[in-house]
């Protein structure tokens, strides 16, 4: 996928649209944004979106993956170093904070940052100042910070691997990026649109998915989220270009997931089935902001069967 189409955010579900609206409000300010969500949910794409919607859009967007920083070089990656600061420092290195001047610094997988760098980052966030490795001079930078994590940072604070003061400093506006199974209304759209983009990129005719295949994909839990969905679209495009895909053509794990999806087991103390049913009906309505057709779909019911149950329990 080329860079520009990578930027296009797809999603019309109420969950995703609500997130975009709040992100756009935050983008207009300089406030620090924290994006948390499972792997492959689109955190990096959303961080770029915040940058593009901000007054900093013409300045650089610089990303640092805190999990991929080589031990010992992290400080210099962030804050830069001067020539001769350590063995191998053969020239000055400005560092990523300097490179992001006037723009946005994206700290990916922030939960993996070492305690030492956390302390230095906190100092920078509080004063706007930092010191390149080997230098006596304080430097100043004006950057907006967006951080992302797929770990539970609060838990890391509790176990002492993440500083509490930095946690509060970063968590000014936290956003939960929903997993694909929390925005099932987008699955069909994502499959069609991503297949379209890939077919242009590969110059291959797009395959189509028949109803049985689409149903199967709608019910799959997508543990790898949009990244997994994109990879599937790519694989299906190559294998079934120009053809119709039915459920039997889908990978095993997707076909079999449907039967394994339910992990609920009846407790020894029993349950009250009717109460549980009412609870699920209500949760489905809440999740879909009252949209009865969508609520019916996520419960695997027809709209008619759904309305019948609402009436039965007088939930309407």
Ligand X SMILES: Nc1ncnc2c1ncn2[C@@H]1O[C@H](COP(=O)(O)OP(=O)(O)OP(=O)(O)O)[C@@H](O)[C@H]1O
Question: Could you list the residues that contact ligand X (CB under 6 A)?
Answer: 6, 9-11, 37, 39-45, 150, 226-227, 230
Piece of the chain touching Mg ion by CB under 5 A; list 27-35, 39-47, 80-88, 230-238: 39-47
Of all residues in the shown chain, the one whose CB is closest to Mg ion is 44
Q: Which does 41 bind (CB under 5 to 8 A by kind): ligand X, Mg ion, none?
A: ligand X
In the 8-state DSSP scheme, what is residue 93? Answer: B
Give the residue with the Cβ less far from Mg ion, 61 or 130.
Answer: 61
Piece of the chain touching Mg ion by CB under 5 A; list 40-48, 205-213, 254-262, 301-309: 40-48
* Cβ neighbours of residue 22 closer than 8 Å, sequence gap 6 or more: 175
3-state secondary structure 30-72: CCCEEEECCCCCCHHHHHHHHHHCCCCCCCCEEEEEHHHCCCC
Piece of the chain touching Mg ion by CB under 5 A; list 17-25, 37-45, 196-204, 254-262: 37-45
Rounded to a whole number of angstroms, the minimum distance from the CB of residue 89 to ligand X is 30
- Measure CA of the first residue to CA of the last residue in the chain; give whole Å: 46
Rounded to a whole number of angstroms, the minimum distance from the CB of residue 132 to ligand X is 28
Contact 33, 146 (CB under 8 A): yes
Does the protein bind Mg ion through residue 44 (CB under 5 A)? yes
Give the residue with the Cβ less far from ligand X, 32 or 76.
Answer: 32
User: Looking at the DSSP assignment, which residues form a beta bridge with residue 105?
Assistant: 62, 145
Q: Which does 95 bind (CB under 5 to 8 A by kind): ligand X, Mg ion, none?
A: none
Give the residue with the Cβ less far from ligand X, 99 or 151.
Answer: 151
Contact 165, 122 (CB under 8 A): yes
Q: Which does 80 bind (CB under 5 to 8 A by kind): ligand X, Mg ion, none?
A: none
Q: Which does 53 bind (CB under 5 to 8 A by kind): Mg ion, ligand X, none?
A: none
Rounded to a whole number of angstroms, the minimum distance from the CB of residue 304 to Mg ion is 42
Q: Which does 39 bind (CB under 5 to 8 A by kind): ligand X, Mg ion, none?
A: ligand X
Q: Which residue has the tokens 């994206």?
A: 106
> For residue 56, which of 97, 98, 7, 103 has the smallest C-alpha distance?
103
* Cβ neighbours of residue 146 closer than 8 Å, sequence gap 6 or more: 32, 33, 34, 35, 47, 50, 51, 104, 105, 106, 107
Rounded to a whole number of angstroms, the minimum distance from the CB of residue 278 to ligand X is 33
In the 8-state DSSP scheme, what is residue 184? Answer: G
Of all residues in the shown chain, the one whose CB is closest to ligand X is 42
Piece of the chain touching Mg ion by CB under 5 A; list 25-33, 36-44, 135-143, 230-238: 36-44
Give the residue with the Cβ less far from Mg ion, 30 or 44.
Answer: 44
**44 burial via Cβ count (<10 Å: 0-12, 13-18, 19+):** middle
Rounded to a whole number of angstroms, the minimum distance from the CB of residue 254 to ligand X is 17
Rounded to a whole number of angstroms, the minimum distance from the CB of residue 221 to Mg ion is 20
Gyration radius from the chain CA atoms? 24
> For residue 36, which of 227, 161, 170 has the smallest C-alpha distance?
170
Rounded to a whole number of angstroms, the minimum distance from the CB of residue 5 to ligand X is 9
Tell me the helices (H) and strands (E) count for the chain, helix number first: 15, 9
Provide the binding-site residues for Mg ion, judged by CB under 5 A: 44
């Amino acid at each position: 996928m080329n860079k520009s189409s990578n930027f296009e955010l797809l999603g019309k579900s109420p969950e995703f649209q609500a997130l975009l609206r709040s992100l756009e409000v935050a983008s207009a300010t300089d406030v620090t944004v924290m994006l948390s969500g499972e792997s492959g949910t689109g955190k990096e794409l959303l961080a770029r979106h915040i940058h593009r919607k901000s007054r900093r859009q013409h300045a650089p967007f610089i990303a640092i993956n805190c999990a991929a920083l080589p031990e010992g070089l992290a400080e210099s990656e962030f804050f830069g170093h001067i020539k001769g600061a350590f063995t191998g420092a053969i020239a000055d290195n400005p560092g990523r904070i300097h490179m992001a001047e006037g723009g946005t610094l994206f700290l990916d997988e922030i939960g993996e940052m070492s305690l030492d760098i956390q302390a230095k980052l906190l100092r920078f966030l509080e004063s706007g100042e930092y010191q390149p490795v080997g230098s006596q001079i304080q430097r100043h930078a004006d950057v907006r910070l967006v951080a992302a994590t797929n770990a539970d940072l609060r838990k890391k604070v509790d176990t002492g691997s993440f500083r509490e003061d930095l946690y509060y400093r970063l968590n000014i506006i936290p956003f939960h990026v929903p997993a694909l199974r929390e925005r099932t209304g987008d699955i069909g759209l994502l499959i069609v649109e991503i297949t379209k983009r890939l077919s242009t990129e590969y110059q291959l005719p797009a395959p189509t998915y028949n109803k049985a295949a689409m149903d199967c994909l709608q019910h799959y839990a997508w543990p790898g989220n949009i990244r997994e969905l994109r990879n599937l679209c790519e694989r299906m495009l190559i294998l079934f270009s120009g053809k119709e895909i039915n459920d039997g053509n889908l990978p095993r794990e997707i076909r079999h997931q449907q039967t394994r999806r339910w992990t609920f087991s009846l407790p020894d103390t029993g349950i009250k089935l009717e109460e549980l049913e009412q609870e699920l009906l209500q949760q489905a309505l809440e999740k879909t902001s009252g949209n009865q057709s969508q609520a019916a779909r996520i419960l695997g019911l027809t709209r008619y069967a759904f309305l019948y149950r609402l009436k039965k329990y007088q939930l309407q």
